[in-house]
C-alpha cells in the first residue's frame, strides 16, 4: 500500500488549509472506495495559477474513515511542451480488461492557446499506488479522426469512461462544443468508443446536444436497477447552473428532464462538478461527491475549488426521478453525541413577519464555535401562510441568511413548496444605493442564492441543515441547498420566522460535532 494519512469525514474535505479540493472522480473497486479529486496549488486564487491542478487520491472501506495518499496520483507535466503543463484536469477512472485501473484525464497547456486534450494513464499495480501517463494524447482511429471537425478544438475535456455491457465496448463521453450553430448554446457531449481503451472511434453526431448551454462539464452515465439510464453533468451558467441529470430508457437516450418538477436539478451552482460511484452492497444507490467553492476574502470573488461537500446518496423514486440525501452513516459518526432537544415551536402572525431566536441555542452555550452542527426539524404550515423558515447566522438586526419555505399547495399528507436561501439585507438598485450610501454585494447567484420550486415535503420528512465550517448544506424533499456562508459572528444566532400566517416546527434537534 502507498504511504497515506488517515482522517475523518470532517478532515477529508480539503488537502490542506491553503489548498482547495475540486472535481471528484470516485470509483468503487472490490468494495473499496477510491476518491480522486483535483487539488489546487497552495496559496493560489485565480486563473491560471489556481488551475494548475493535480490529482489527489483517497481511499475508504466505509465512507467514514479515509486515507489520503501522500503522493499525488497525477501531476502536471514539467516541460512547457507537455500537454498537461498547465494542469491535469478532470477525467475518470475505470478498470481495464485485466483489472488494472486506467485514468483518462484532461491536459491543459496555455502555450497551445488553452487547447485541451485527453491523456491516458495506467496504474503501476493493482493497488493503484501510482500511475504512468502517456506522453501523447489518446489515439483516434484514422477513419474517424476527421469527425473532430464537428466539434470546437478548444473545449474538449472531462472524459468519462464506462464499459457498455450491451454493446460490449468502452464508451468515453467528452464535454465539448459543436463547431457550428448558435454561439452561446453549442455545448454538447461527444461519444468515443473502444474495445481495448487504446484506439478510439469518434462519432460524428453528438451524444447529447440540448441547445441550451455554453459547454457542459464533468459528465457521467450510469444505470440503476429500475432499468433507467441517467446522464449527469455540470453547467457553469444559467439556466439551472450546477450539477443536473437527465433520464433515458437506453444508454443512447434520448435523455429528458425528469417529470417531478425539479428540472433535474439537485442543488444550486455552488455544489459543483459532482460525480458518483455505486454504493457498496446496495446497487440501488449511488454515492455523490461534489465541492463547494471557496471565496476570496480580498475581492469577494468566487474561486475554483473549495471544500469537498458532505457525501450524499442518490436513489430513484417510483417515477424514475432521483432523490438526494445526506449519507446517514456519516451523520451518525459525526453527530454521535446526544443532541440538544428543543421543544416544538408554533409561530402565528397576521400581516407581518414574526421572528423568534431559539431560546436554548446550543451554539451560544458552546465555549467556542463548534466545527460543525446539524439542525433538524419537521414542518407544518397552514394553508394561508405566505412563508416561514429558519434564520441562520442572523444578528438582532436580522442581517444573515434566511431559509424560506413558500407554500404552493398544502395537503394533509404532502405539501409542495418553493424553498430558497437568501441573504438579508439584499442589494439595492443604483439609485437607492447612492441615496442611502448602502453599497451591498450583488451576487452572481441573484438575490435568492439557491432556490428550488415544486419541493414536495411529507409530514414525516425531516429537514436537515448541516453546517461544517463556512459551508451549509440544507437537505429537504430530496433536494439540497448548498452555499458558503460569511464567517460566523459569535453574536449571531439561530431562529425561526413566519410571514403572515402560522407554522409549526416539530421535533427540533440541534447536534454539535
Q: pLDDT, tens digit, for every residue of 361-400? A: 556 555 456 789 999 999 987 778 999 999 999 999 999 9
Per-residue pLDDT tens over the stretch 304-342? 999 999 999 999 999 999 999 999 999 999 998 888 888
At residue 212 the predicted structure's pLDDT band, cuts being 50, 70 and 90, is very high
- Tell me, what's the pLDDT at 361? 57
Per-residue pLDDT tens over the stretch 19-55? 999 999 999 999 999 999 999 999 999 999 999 999 9
- Tell me, what's the pLDDT at 369? 65
The overall average pLDDT reported for the chain is 94
Residue 66, pLDDT > 90, answer yes
At residue 360 the predicted structure's pLDDT band, cuts being 50, 70 and 90, is low
According to DSSP, the residues that pair with 117 across neighbouring strands are 107
Closest CA to 213 of 242, 250, 256, 255: 242
Domain assignments of the chain as residue spans, ordered by start: 4-331, 335-512
- Residues 37 and 53: beta-carbon distance below 8 Å: no
Per-residue pLDDT tens over the stretch 71-107? 999 999 999 999 999 999 999 999 999 899 999 999 9
Percent of the chain past pLDDT 70, that is, above it, reads 97
- Tell me, what's the pLDDT at 336? 86
Among the residues of 239-312, which ranges form H helices? none
Which conformational region is residue 255 in: left (phi greater than 0), alpha (psi within -120 to 50 degrees), or beta?
A: beta
- Tell me, what's the pLDDT at 225? 98
**What SS3 class is residue 329?**
helix
Give the DSSP letter of residue 396: T
362 versus 491: which is more confidently predicted?
491
412 versus 290: which is more confidently predicted?
290
- Residues 425 and 284: beta-carbon distance below 8 Å: no
Do the domains spanning 4-331 and 335-512 agree at the CATH topology level? Answer: no
pTM for the whole structure? 0.95
* Superfamily of the domain at 335-512: Exo-inulinase; domain 1 (2.60.120.560)
- Tell me, what's the pLDDT at 418? 97
Residue 485, pLDDT > 60, answer yes
Helix, strand, coil proportions of the chain in percent (round to 5)? Answer: 5, 55, 40
CATH entry, 4-331, from 2.115.10.20, 2.40.128.30, 3.40.50.300, 3.40.1280.10: 2.115.10.20
Give the DSSP letter of residue 265: B
- Tell me, what's the pLDDT at 15? 96
Per-residue pLDDT tens over the stretch 250-294? 999 999 999 999 999 999 999 999 999 999 999 999 999 999 999
Residue 209, pLDDT > 80, answer yes
330 versus 436: which is more confidently predicted?
330
- Tell me, what's the pLDDT at 486? 80
At residue 410 the predicted structure's pLDDT band, cuts being 50, 70 and 90, is confident
Amino acid at each position: 500500500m502507498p504511504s497515506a494519512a488517515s482522517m475523518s469525514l470532517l478532515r477529508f474535505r480539503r488537502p490542506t488549509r491553503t489548498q482547495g479540493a475540486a472535481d471528484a472522480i470516485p470509483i468503487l473497486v472490490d468494495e473499496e472506495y477510491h476518491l480522486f479529486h483535483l487539488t489546487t496549488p497552495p496559496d493560489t486564487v485565480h486563473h491560471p495559477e489556481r488551475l494548475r491542478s493535480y490529482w489527489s487520491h483517497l481511499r475508504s472501506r466505509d465512507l467514514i474513515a479515509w486515507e489520503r495518499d501522500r503522493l499525488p496520483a497525477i501531476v502536471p507535466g514539467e516541460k512547457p511542451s507537455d500537454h498537461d503543463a498547465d494542469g491535469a484536469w478532470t477525467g475518470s477512472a475505470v478498470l481495464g480488461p485485466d483489472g488494472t485501473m486506467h485514468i483518462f484525464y484532461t491536459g491543459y497547456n496555455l502555450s497551445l492557446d488553452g487547447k485541451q486534450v485527453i491523456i491516458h494513464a495506467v496504474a503501476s499495480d493493482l493497488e493503484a499506488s501510482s500511475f504512468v501517463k502517456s506522453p501523447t494524447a489518446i489515439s483516434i482511429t484514422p477513419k474517424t479522426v476527421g469527425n473532430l471537425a464537428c466539434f470546437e478544438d478548444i473545449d474538449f475535456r472531462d472524459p468519462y469512461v464506462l464499459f457498455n455491457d450491451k454493446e460490449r465496448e468502452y464508451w468515453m463521453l467528452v464535454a465539448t462544443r459543436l463547431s457550428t450553430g448558435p454561439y452561446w448554446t453549442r455545448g454538447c457531449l461527444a461519444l468515443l468508443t473502444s474495445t481495448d481503451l487504446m484506439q478510439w472511434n469518434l462519432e460524428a453526431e453528438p451524444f447529447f446536444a440540448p441547445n441550451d448551454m455554453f459547454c457542459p462539464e464533468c459528465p457521467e452515465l450510469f444505470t440503476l436497477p429500475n432499468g433507467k439510464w441517467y446522464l449527469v453533468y455540470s453547467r457553469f451558467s444559467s439556466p439551472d447552473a450546477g450539477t443536473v441529470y437527465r433520464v433515458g430508457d437506453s444508454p443512447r437516450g434520448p435523455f429528458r428532464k425528469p417529470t417531478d418538477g425539479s428540472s433535474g436539478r439537485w442543488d444550486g451552482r455552488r455544489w459543483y462538478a459532482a460525480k458518483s460511484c455505486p454504493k457498496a452492497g446496495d446497487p440501488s444507490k449511488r454515492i455523490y461527491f461534489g465541492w463547494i467553492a471557496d471565496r476570496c476574502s480580498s475581492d469577494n470573488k468566487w474561486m475554483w475549488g473549495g471544500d469537498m461537500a458532505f457525501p450524499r446518496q442518490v436513489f430513484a423514486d417510483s417515477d424514475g426521478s432521483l432523490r438526494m440525501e445526506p449519507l446517514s452513516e456519516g451523520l451518525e459518526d459525526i453527530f454521535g453525541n446526544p443532541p440538544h432537544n428543543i421543544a416544538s415551536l408554533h409561530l402565528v402572525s397576521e400581516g407581518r413577519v414574526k421572528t423568534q431566536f431559539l431560546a436554548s441555542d446550543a451554539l451560544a452555550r458552546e465555549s467556542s464555535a463548534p466545527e460543525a452542527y446539524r439542525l433538524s426539524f419537521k414542518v407544518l404550515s397552514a394553508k394561508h401562510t405566505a412563508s416561514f423558515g429558519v434564520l441562520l447566522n442572523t444578528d438582532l438586526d436580522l442581517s444573515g441568511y434566511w431559509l424560506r419555505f413558500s407554500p404552493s399547495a398544502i395537503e394533509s399528507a404532502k405539501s409542495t413548496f418553493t424553498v430558497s436561501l437568501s441573504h438579508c439585507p439584499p442589494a439595492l438598485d443604483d439609485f437607492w444605493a447612492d441615496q442611502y450610501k448602502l453599497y451591498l454585494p450583488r451576487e452572481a447567484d441573484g438575490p435568492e442564492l439557491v432556490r428550488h420550486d415544486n419541493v414536495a415535503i411529507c409530514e414525516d420528512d425531516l429537514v436537515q441543515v448541516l453546517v461544517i465550517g463556512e459551508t451549509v448544506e440544507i437537505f429537504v424533499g430530496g433536494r439540497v441547498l448548498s452555499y458558503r456562508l460569511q464567517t460566523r459572528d459569535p453574536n449571531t444566532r439561530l431562529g425561526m420566522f413566519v410571514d403572515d400566517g402560522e407554522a409549526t416546527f416539530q421535533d427540533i434537534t440541534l447536534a454539535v460535532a
